[in-house]
Homo-oligomer: A and B are copies of this chain.
Amino acid sequence: MNKRLPNEPITNIETESTVQDNTRKHFLLELYGCPEKIIDDVDHIRQCLTEAADRAGAVVLEVVSHSFEPHGVTAIALLAESHLSIHCWPESGYVAIDLFTCSPSGDSQSACEYLVTALQAESHELRVIERGK
């Protein structure tokens, strides 16, 4: 698991699985130290969600979101390639992101790099897991 500053490139990603040609990749991204105002704004999170999906080369079929009281935001995109979810805990500056795609031509890493920057994370962790066999 790697921690990086927001502007550092995401490299040296941990990968589980021995299957080389599996196109089902699940990126699990944890963001820490995100400004409360940024990640408690459901409209902003939805914008970031769709922009990230676009950068991943994914097709968004539907977006759902919820703003919790007194704080917290969830936004989920149902993709033609699977899903992208963003869960925000503004009280602790933490965001959990899942980008699960089954397209061999997508660029999930670029989407993750965008989200690290857009949500102004002080640090982050990224795991990549292959799904299925």
| Given A26-B28, A30-B131, A98-B98, residue A74 in contact with residue B64 (CB < 8 A) | no
Contact A82 B74 (CB under 8 A): yes
**Which of A89-133 touch B at CB < 8 Å?**
89, 94, 96, 98, 100, 102, 127, 129, 131-133
* Cβ 8 A contact of A85, one of B68, B74, B83, B89: B83
- Expressed in whole angstroms, the minimum distance between the Cβ of A115 and any Cβ of chain B is 15
Q: Is A78 an interface residue (CB 8 A)?
A: yes
Alpha-carbon separation in the docked complex, A24 to B92 (Å)? 13
Alpha-carbon separation in the docked complex, A128 to B100 (Å)? 16
| Given A98-B100, A100-B96, residue A82 in contact with residue B87 (CB < 8 A) | yes
New contact pairs (7) apart from A28-B129, A30-B132, A74-B83, CB-CB < 8 Å = A30-B131, A32-B133, A62-B66, A64-B78, A68-B80, A82-B87, A98-B100
Q: Which residues from B are CB-within-8-Å of A129?
A: 28, 127
Q: Is A76 an interface residue (CB 8 A)?
A: yes
